[in-house]
Structure 1
């Protein structure tokens, strides 16, 4: 029965995420918001709802390893999604078809967030305010500034809509799809957590990889759907934005975890997951700043950075667990 619930929830999440992206595309083209902005904040927030539910549940059952591992694991898995899509569609050269200036800030801020978390985990006796780590307050402050900077970026040219929806229909459809993602994603997370617990695996591994992969399913569908709509900025923005949003959800998790700073209560394996995120993000930044001429030769030479990201993910996962 548990397997049936997990599978059914996954299917519903996939369908809802497709409509989430479709109506997000309508909003980006019928309003003053660019595809990168819609992807970075609007869609990213909605597709991160399963991560929020999972981490809050982990806090409720007093399992901080699952809560933190879910967020960090989702971030690295999200980058793996982007790399895998880039490899699969290497003929289209995804990173050569985007407005780089709109996506570089999100990637850089994501890198800064991971560096802050690593520093907090390495420094013993983390400082806190009302049982919340000071590093979390810094992350919130940087995010607020990043929202303002990214929102002031230029609006790119938009491709025509596949179907003509009004802005009102797009907004209503987006809200409904986001609500369905929240419900189905919650069921996906909870059933996945129970399936993982039944195997007796370590909580850090469960949170960082099994649950993280499950809750990242909406991001996978969103990227593929955005790619098929030729809204490449939204495809990349949804992933980079989801990673930024996940860090804000980690802040909420720390606020609700009343035993002290949550990073002080987790295992050391999360440090390696964060370091993996640093390496993958650095390669992603290279893809965003790489001149087109350097990727103009063979398809596989173009896809080499994404291949490195993919190999890194599986090698580090195998080495840790």
Structure 2
């Protein structure tokens, strides 16, 4: 139900709500970007930490909200689909658009490649292991063979890994010496940051409601709806932040936001949804093929980043083409042309 029943639950109304909600997410992300940048300058954070923690966590708020709302609505597969789909979008589309937005190549550095990118690969593996443990030790009674219960104790595993990630970032901040901008109105910027999160939260709630109406009308599988519609809409803040950073020749911040956002989504957003509702079923047959695509996309981006520590225009177009192939495959799965995702 969208707008608490004020708008009729029709496909046309749902599409309008999705478009308007996406616009509000875009506006909220603009507020979030500017306030996060000023606060990072005030506290003297290094560029890689600014991108991978401060901006990444803030711009990941739509994904976190989508998981919470779908978990409460009993459609957790849609939330997981939104996280995985958003991660694929972030890894392929955002670096591609950022590379196209720069004059020349999108520059990076060894810290980003050898710390952020490799830790993100560990995050992907941790999610696969957590889902596997749910299927092996907590199978759903009388359910499909590859469906398990994701419980609160299991959700603590990826959360603990994110704690290690924050500890590593804290060590980098402790060793970093930077100029501090004392001219920032700290109270106002924190207020602006909070307001942006509220706007994004309300917009995502309506976005999820609109997608649920489309699911009921057209029979779109929950996971695939999350992978495509919700994932693209909730990735808008990350896209805006990274592209603007790239245009300002801040390649490290731009790519750090992508990797940090995905790390937060996988290790925090999914477990938070589980902690809220207690336990949720996870369909391994649906999740693993998508996580396989995410792994391939991550390896592709890592290879490009490692080559001369930059992303060229050709590599940017290659990433974008890979995402278009992924979308075509998802559409083929939805209409029944292919049947790789057995649980969908």
Q: TM-score, normalised by structure 2?
A: 0.77
Give how far 1:165 is off.
Answer: 4.8
CA–CA distance in 1 between the matches of 2:325 and 2:153?
31
1:61 counterpart residue number: 73
Q: Give the C-alpha shift of residue 144 in structure 1.
A: 0.7
Question: Residues 249, 77 of structure 1: CA spacing in aligned structure 2 closer, same or farther, 3 A cutoff?
Answer: same
TM-superposed CA distance for 1:312, in Å, is 5.2
Are 2:275 and 1:255 aligned?
yes
Quote how far apart the aligned CAs of 1:28 are: 2.2
Query: 85, 109, 118: which is aligned to 1:99?
Result: 109
Partners of 1:156 and 1:278 lie apart in 2 by 35
Please state if 1:27 is matched with 2:44.
no
| Aligned match for 2:285, one of 268, 289, 307 | 268
Q: CA deviation at 1:290?
A: 2.2
Matched, 1:176 2:195: yes
Within the candidate set 123, 130, 137, 1:113 is matched to 123
Alpha-carbon distance between aligned partners in 2 of 1:240 and 1:222, rounded to the nearest angstrom: 13
Q: Is the 8 A contact 2:78 2:226 kept in 1?
A: yes
The alpha carbon displacement at 1:314 in A equals 3.4
> How does the TM-score come out when normalised to structure 1?
0.82
Secondary structure of the structure 2 residue equivalent to 1:152: helix
1:225-244 alignment runs, 5 A limit: 225-244=244-263
CA gap of 1:228–1:291, structure 2 versus 1, over 3 A, is closer
Moved more, 172-181 or 274-283: 172-181
- The size of the alignment, in residue pairs, is 308
* Counterpart position of 2:167: 148
1:224 aligned residue (239, 243, 253): 243
Contact 1:126 1:133 in 2 (8 A): no
Point out where structure 1 has 5 or more consecutive residues left out of the alignment.
none
Match of 1:317 in 2: 330
